[in-house]
Every structure is written in structure tokens, then in C-alpha cells.
Chain A
Amino acid sequence: MNFGKILRTSSVHWQLARDYAFKSDLKIKWVRPEKLPCTKPEKSGDLGKLPSINEKELRLDFKNSKELQDADPVVQSLFQLGNNPLAETSRYLRDQMIKEVQRHPLDYGSMEAKLARMTVRIRSMQEQLDKFPRNIKVKVTLKELIDKRKKFLKYLRRWDYRRFEWMLEKLDLVYKPPPTKFHWITRKESLQKLTDAHCEQIKEERLAEYRKVLNEQKIPFLEDAIKKMEFVHKEQIDLEIPLTVTEEQIADFKRELEYLKSERETKTEDRE
């Protein structure tokens, strides 16, 4: 055992004490934050969700088909999104989202279009992962995609800040820069930080209290000072000694006193 210190418990008794594990007496309770998977929307910065779609909507490729418009209802239903694989719905949503942000009708490769496409993919994968949490392929792809989107957002911010802000609004995203340094969350370090914050708070409170005390002493001090200065001024005139206290100085002090008094009045009125 590491006994580095000898404690004297009474006049006769001595006791060995460990010196390395300092335990604070402060009643600070530390709650370890729950681990949030990086695939969750709260972590990835997705505020918005995918729009709900009309299941009777036709597939993307057959939307403008004239033959389909005049076709039998049974044939038409074969091309509805509800009767097609989920991938078709995803494709449809992706196209919708890209059309919201693209620069011109043929633009599918600009940064905005890329970000929009990624966002829809991420959101649909997040829904998928909620249903099947053990689908590792989706999980890995999703994680990679989220990281990539974050990197692209970082680039866009550097290239064109206003466009970046506009994109955040359009896609309903939150952008937080990564922390400068990675570290694991430990009990010791967290408690150190909490203790520091606690000490800082105590310091602020005490300073505020002391400031209040000093401020209250200001008006009596000024009143006293004006009285004494007036007395000295009068005596110096009477005894015909060179003046050290001029009327201007007294006027200055009086002005300050008035200002302080008016300020205090306004404060009390505010409180009422």
C-alpha cells in the first residue's frame, strides 16, 4: 500500500494515511452524460425529419409518362411509390431535396446538391437504423456519411460563408465545430472542472457582495468629504492662506453626489 503520510490522530496514536487520492469535501454531484451514438440525429445535427410522402405518387422515372396517365388504374398502381421498393421512395425524396437547393435544373454536382443528397440519405438511414439497430452495414455507412457531410460543411463555410448559412437553414441542420482536443470523460477530470466552476462562482458572488458594500459607502463618504472641503475652503479664505481647495473641486464632488443619488433613485423605482 502507498502510505506516504503519517497522521497524528491524538497525543498517543499515530496512523498511516494514503496521500494520493485527494477527496473533496464539497458536495458536488457529478452525473456522467449518457453515451449518445454518433448516428443519432441529436449528434449528427439533423433538426428536421424527412417529409411524409404521398404513397399514390408515381415513381420518379414515370412521372411525366403520357401513356401511364391514360392507362388502367391497376397498371398505374404498379408505378405508385407505395407499391414499390423503399429505394424508390428514397430516390424520390432525394430528388425533391436537391431541387430545393440546386442552382439550375441540371445541377446535381454542386456542393449544395451534394449536401442535400447526403442529408436525405442520412435521414432515411437513421430511420432504417431505428427499425433495425443491428444492421451494421447501414450503421457504418451512416457514420461515414455523417462525417463526410460535416467535412463538406466545413469546406463550404470556408469558401462561402453566406451560402453555408443558407444551406444550414434550408436543410435544417446544426453545425458545431469539432473540439480542439479529444479526451475520454473521466470522473477525476470532470470533478476538477466542476470544482473550478464552483470556486469561480463563489468568487463572483463574494466580489459582487463586496462591490455592493463599497457602493453603499460612496454617498456618505461624498457628503462628508463635501462638508469638510467646504470648511477648509472657508477657513483658508478667512485666514488668507493660499487656497488648496477650490470651488470647482467642490462643485465636481457635488455633481458626482447628485449623479449617484439620481442613479440610486432610478434603481429603487425599477425594483418597485
Chain B
Amino acid sequence: MASRGAILLGQCMPCIKKNASKIRIRHMELDKNLNMYFKKDEYFFAHDPEKVCKTGDIVLIRELPQRLTRLISHTVEKIVYPLGDIIDPITGKKVVVGKYRDEIEDANRLYGKSEKAFDYEKAPPRGRLEGTRDFTHGETYIKYHEDGKDQPFAV
């Protein structure tokens, strides 16, 4: 099993481990009783010391010949789709929902683009608000104890 170096496609999940990313592999499992398929999640920890993949990214992971630690069994091979930065694989253009970004920009220009509006060229890369406004890089929990300290991930 270990020597085959299998490649898996999965989604990165929030993870507190220092040099690993938690990857969710989702597949459909047949329930023979109901004759229906149901989602089944499998989690793998991939070695990722620089934390290249962020929560929600679609990544390829490759199986290591040997387990690095008790948990880490894979390495991150490639980030296929970063979350919220989708590229259409056929044309290679960036997409937002059902439209190309260029088309949206063109429409804005026709109407007269507002100066205060969001600009892709000026916008810094993802991750600058982590821990201040955007708490999606970790798992939130329901607050169960009041200890006087600040609990950023408590809801």
C-alpha cells in the first residue's frame, strides 16, 4: 500500500497541526440496503511545512513511501484550485460564478467604473485578514467556558 505513491484529489480543511495540512477526500459510498450513494469523507494529513495550501483549496496529494509521523502519510503535490480564485480549465481565464472576470470588468467600464470599487490589480493576495476579521483558517466551536481571556474561535 505504501509503495504505490497514489495521488489523491481533495479539499484542504482547517487544521492546527504545525507542518501539516488536513485534506478531505470525499467519495460516494453505495448503501446496498437503500441502493443509493452517500457521501463519505476520509481525512489525510499531508506534509506541508510552508503551509502552501489554505482552507478550502482543492489540492493534489501524493502518498509518501513511508509515514513521516504517526499522522502524516502524504505530501502536498500541487494546488489545483485556490479557493475563490477559480480558473476556467478550457479558456484559462478567471471566473466568478457564471461569468468571466474580464466580462464583469468590461461591463463596469461601460457603465463608468467607480473609483472606490474593488480592483483586482490593487488587491493583495489572500490571507491578510487571518485572525483579525477572517477566522476561516481554524475550526470554530461553541463557547463553553468563560475564562476572561479572548477566545477568537469561540462562537
Interfacial residues, chain A to chain B (CB-CB below 8 A) = 30-34, 47, 99-107, 112, 157-169, 173-180, 182-183, 185, 189-190, 193-194
Contacts and interface: CB of A to CB of B under 8 A. Distances in A.
Interface in B100-133: 104, 108, 111-114, 116-118, 120, 123-126, 128-129, 133
Interface of B: 56, 82-86, 96-97, 104, 108, 111-114, 116-118, 120, 123-126, 128-129, 133-136, 139-147, 153-155
Given A158-B83, A159-B96, A169-B129, A185 B142 contact: yes
Given A103-B114, A105-B114, 19 more contacts: A33-B143, A33-B154, A100-B116, A101-B117, A103-B111, A104-B112, A105-B111, A105-B112, A106-B111, A157-B56, A159-B86, A162-B123, A163-B123, A165-B123, A175-B135, A176-B140, A177-B136, A179-B141, A179-B155
Contact of B144 (A166, A182, A185): A185
Contacts of B111: 103-107
A104, A157, A160: residue with the most chain B Cβ atoms closer than 10 Å: A160
B108 A34 contact: no
18 contacts: A31-B145, A101-B116, A103-B108, A105-B114, A112-B117, A158-B83, A159-B84, A159-B86, A160-B96, A162-B118, A165-B133, A166-B118, A174-B135, A175-B136, A176-B153, A177-B140, A179-B155, A183-B142
Determine chain B's interface SS by DSSP, over half rule.
loop
A112 B118 CA distance: 9
A189 to B, nearest CB: 7
A169 B122 CA distance: 14
Contacts, number: 123
A161 B141 contact: no
Given A165-B129, A177-B135, A158 B56 contact: yes
Nearest to A189: B144
A161 B153 CA distance: 20
Nearest to B151: A33
A253 to B, nearest CB: 29
B144 A163 contact: no
Contacts of B146: 31-34
B38 to A, nearest CB: 18
Contact of B125 (A103, A112, A162): A162
A102 B118 CA distance: 8
Contacts of B117: 101-104, 112
Contacts of A100: 116
Contacts of B114: 99, 102-105, 107
B143 A176 contact: no
A177 B133 CA distance: 11
